[in-house]
Amino acid sequence: MKGTSSRAPLGHLIENNRRWAQGAVQADPAFFQRLVEQQAPKYLWIGCADSRVPANDIVGLLPGELFVHRNVANLVVHSDLNCLSVLQYAIDVLHVEHVIVCGHYGCGGIAAAARAAPLGLIDNWLRHIQDVAERHRETLAGEAHECGRADRLCELNVLEQAHNVCRTTIAQDAWRRGQSLAVHAWIYRLTDGLVQDLGFSARGTQGHAAELAAAIGRLRNRGEAG
């Protein structure tokens, strides 16, 4: 079916797709053929489901160059088979070299977890963020303003989730067999579109706990200096 009525449900999105596909071919006639043949990303992006955080656009990569998993508040939970399946496929099958956990300031999931107001089923998911907040109660208490505490919790959550990646059997097994793999913690600012490296970069079975402690220490020192 080539044509789609603009009066059909979501017809405007189908029309947008047609214009996008046409524009892509006009700019690069081999775009889609190359896309069919290309699935060799070097990077796995674990990010937030927030619609304002488009992973490929943020880092300037084309489709096929970035493997992506997204969920509310970019969590890596050891019982989440969805996330773990993506991680295992990315590392064991695609052989990505970098796993990037990227959160963002102004995250609705972080804000909801901090408010602790009942929202329903998602409260069980947000509990993981509240665990992070409780673990770093003193660091958060050092922030005088609510917005500062929210930003700090966004950063701490990213660091903890990157550390969770390191602790999975998937990452541990990859490192034990000598596979090149690095795990990073980044955060994105909606107000200027810039990514900040939070200073966590783990590359082996040992040392990732020290990387986490050092990165959190730098956050704490920055807060005290501010």
Indicate yes or no: pTM above 0.95.
no
What total number of domains does the chain contain?
A: 2
Q: Which of 52, 78, 218, 222 is catalytic?
A: 52
Residues 169 and 195 in one domain: yes
Q: What pLDDT is attached to residue 36?
A: 86
Q: Which of 102, 107, 154, 166 is catalytic?
A: 107
Q: Does 104 qualify as catalytic in the annotation? A: yes
Residues 147 and 122 in one domain: yes
The strand pairing partners of 71, in sequence order, are 48
CATH, residue 168: 3.40.1050.10
Residues 91 and 2 in one domain: no
- Please state, for a pLDDT cut of 90, what percent of the chain lies above it: 83
Distances (CA, A) of 21 to 40, 51, 65, 205: 22, 21, 18, 44
Look-up of token digits 């797709």: 17
Q: Does 52 qualify as catalytic in the annotation? A: yes
Boundaries of domain holding 54: 38-225
Q: Which of 50, 136, 163, 166 is catalytic?
A: 50
Residues of the chain with pLDDT under 50: 1, 4-5
Residues 14 and 121 in one domain: no
Residues 21 and 132 in one domain: no
Q: Which of 69, 104, 128, 152 is catalytic?
A: 104
Residues 91 and 18 in one domain: no
- Please state, for a pLDDT cut of 70, what percent of the chain lies above it: 95
> For residues 191 and 173, is the Cβ–Cβ distance under 8 A?
no
Q: Does 50 qualify as catalytic in the annotation? A: yes
Residues 62 and 140 in one domain: yes
Residues 67 and 125 in one domain: yes
Which helix (H) or strand (E) segment is 185 a member of? strand 182-188
Residues 26 and 50 in one domain: no
Q: Which of 48, 83, 102, 154 is catalytic?
A: 48
List pLDDT tens digits, range 65-112: 999 999 999 999 999 999 999 999 999 999 999 999 999 999 999 999
Residues 5 and 49 in one domain: no
Residues 94 and 172 in one domain: yes
